[in-house]
Amino acid sequence: MGVNAGKKGFVAEINVTPFVDVMLVLLIIFMVTTPMMNEGLDVDLPETKQVESLPTEIDHMVMTLKEDGTIYLDEYKVGIDELEGYLTRLVTEKNKGLFLQADTNVPYGIVVDIMGRIRAAGIEKLGVVARRQEEKAPAGKK
């Protein structure tokens, strides 16, 4: 019961071409969607006339103060009592930069309290995130 020379037998190889095609499509989808998922938390930032973009050459973390009083380090929720410990471990000891973004409706006293806790954790340099103020045309001119 051998295989005849004129007839095809079973092929013992797996055709990986469809698998590679599917994997390439998935790779492209993830490459396109991943930057969109890393935009950060949604807060209504205050506006100012001059704004610089966040530096990308240094390793940094972003602290977010939301309107309801919740605090996030990058995308992880942190309690106010645990804040100094997290800042010491994640920012000071790892020599990272810290940027603070607070919602426009967060009371000034809370922002100052958080900035005091940041200083108590040993962070000397703190960046504040804001949005560029849109230029408005003078009244009467179009």
| Domains (range + CATH), the chain | 47-132 (3.30.420.270)
User: In 10 A of CB 121, how many CB atoms?
Assistant: 18
Task: Report the predicted TM-score, pTM, of the whole model to 2 decimal places.
Answer: 0.59
Q: Rounded to an integer, what distance in angstroms lies between the CA atom of residue 61 and that of residue 87?
A: 10
Contact 83, 117 (CB under 8 A): yes
Which of helix, strand or coil describes residue 60?
strand
Q: Identify the band that residue 15 occupies on the pLDDT scale cut at 50, 70 and 90.
A: confident
Give tens-digit pLDDT for 117-130: 988 888 887 888 87
